[in-house]
Amino acid sequence: MAALMSVSSRSLTEPALAQTVQLITLDNGNGLTATLSTLGAGIWSVTQLDESGTAAELVLNYQDPAQWATNRYYFGVSIGRVANRIANAAFELDGKQVKLAANEGANQLHGGPEGLGSRFWQYRTEQQADSVAVIFSCQSADGDQGYPGNVALEVCYRLNRDNELSIDYYATTDKLTPLSLTNHCYWNLAAKPGADVLGHTLWLNAGHTLEVNQQLIPNGNLLAVAGTAFDFQQAKTIGRDIAQLTNGYDHFFVLNDFAQSHADKQQPQLAAVLSDPGSGRVMDILTTEAGLQFYSGNFLDGSLNGADGMPLTKFAGLCLETHDYPNAVNLPQFPSILISPAQPYRQRTIYRFYTQRIS
């Protein structure tokens, strides 16, 4: 008889944090758990039982919870209002210049210095016959980090018995405003202290990347990946071609079949497959989004320790952030990320976990 699905919670009090953090654990009764945090509506932990019955941790976290006060690496949190980078922390809307809060030189990164990932969210839980869920909610006021409009947001994490963790994002606004949300979780399927992700195998359903300038901001050009280090259309190890790049991967991949038709956003499609040959663990990513940012953990510098006690060094984990085109507010040739009172925001991304037998 299968174990019962469950939802549990615990409190974390840390002097460096403005409030007590609530950690909510979803357990699907089938060896997979996800622990979510009210700080940043984020992923704190994802564990999967291995063949010996040990819970293997698949995401990066800090050894010292006080590091969540600044969360230098954006571990696990919901990112917004606009994910990724906006050039010069500004854009034009209805003929007027909108100035945003800058937090990466002159540019804005991940919604600004006090973006959604730094907020404490409200939550409620839900238990159904075939799934358990936690739904986070928060309000972002008109002018928040420079953005127009009062925006009400919900992020729902749902875990089912089929080892699928889904994230559903929903938002409404009272003014025309840009919105592009994502999760900034760092994955490492090896689940071994000190292991990096260079030996992981990655397949991406993407024939193009966005060309970026030296500040990693898209300039409006799409580049074909065929024959380059960015070609993951046939699965390959992350480390195979990474030496061809200056500092590793930190690029947006435009998903095939999404470039022109992503606005429908109804049915998630397979975007990526990440696997660790050593453990046999595999994670599929399905999404309604136009693309994903593949970031290979280039700025992890070893100055902080992870939850396993080991330094968080370069390539210790990777992000596969599903969202709309970065810097779209300044590039009219990109699909619009504007939402309005008549057009609310919806996004769905699914992480599906399983294990392949190692021969």
Report the pLDDT value the prediction gives residue 354, as an integer from 0 to 100: 95
pLDDT in tens, 31-69: 999 999 999 999 999 999 987 888 999 999 999 999 999
The three-state secondary structure class of 328 is: helix
Mean pLDDT of 145-169: 98
pLDDT at 1: 56
Domain membership flag for residue 235: yes
Domain assignment present for 349: yes
Average pLDDT, the chain: 95
Percent of the chain residues topping a pLDDT of 70 = 96
184 is in an annotated binding site: yes
What domain range includes position 216?
6-355
DSSP letters spanning 142-198: TTGGG--S-EEEEEEEEEETTSEEEEEEEEEESS-EE-B-EE-PPB-TT--TT--ST
CA torsion sign for 168, 174, 180, 184 is: negative
Is 164 an annotated catalytic residue? no
pLDDT at 262: 47
Does 185 count as an annotated binding residue? yes
Looking at the predicted structure, is the pLDDT value of residue 260 above 60? no
Q: Is the residue at 34 inside a domain?
A: yes
Q: pLDDT category, 254, cuts 50, 70, 90? A: very high
Summarised one tens digit per residue, pLDDT across range 223-249 is 999 999 999 999 999 999 999 999 999
Q: What is the pLDDT of residue 146?
A: 98
Q: Tell me if 163 is assigned to a ligand binding site.
A: no
Could you report the per-residue pLDDT of 314-349, keeping only the tens digit for each?
999 999 999 999 999 999 999 999 999 999 999 999
284 labeled binding residue: no
Confidence of residue 257 (pLDDT cuts 50, 70, 90): confident
Distance CA 166, CA 168 (A): 6
| CATH code for the domain in which residue 311 is found | 2.70.98.10
Q: Residue 165: which of 197, 180, 187 has the closest Cα?
A: 187
pLDDT, position 53: 84
Which residues in 114-131 are b (16+ Cβ under 10 Å) and which e? ebbbbbbbebeeeeeeeb
| Rounded distance between C-alpha atoms, residue 268 and residue 205, angstroms | 13
How far apart are the C-alpha atoms of 337 and 171, rounded to whole Å?
13
What's the pLDDT at 265?
A: 57
In a domain, 79, yes or no: yes
Report yes or no on 214 lying in a domain. yes
| Cβ-proximal residues to 273 (8 Å cutoff; 6+ apart), any chain | 202, 203, 235, 282, 283, 284, 285
Q: What is the pLDDT of residue 51?
A: 78
If 0-12 CB within 10 Å is exposed, 13-18 middle and 19+ buried, where does residue 278 land? Answer: middle
The tokens for 134 are: 């936690």
Q: Is 85 annotated as a binding residue?
A: yes
Whether residue 299 is contained in a domain is answered as: yes
Cα–Cα dist 244/197, whole Å: 17
Res 2: pLDDT: 66
Extract long-range pairs of 224-229: CB within 8 Å, 24+ residues apart: 225/253
pLDDT value of residue 266 = 72
| Predicted TM-score (pTM) of this structure | 0.96
Look at the chain and report how many structural domains it folds into. Answer: 1
> What is the end-to-end Cα distance of the chain in Å, rounded?
29
Residue 1 lies in a domain: no
The Cα 204–Cα 202 span in angstroms is 7
CA dihedral 16, 22, 28, 30 (to 10 degrees): 40
Is 323 a known active-site residue? no
Among the listed residues 154, 164, 289, 321, the single catalytic one is 321
Does 124 show up as a binding residue in the annotation? no
Q: Cβ(182)–Cβ(323) under 8 Å? A: yes
Q: Catalytic residue among 184, 208, 251, 262, which?
A: 184
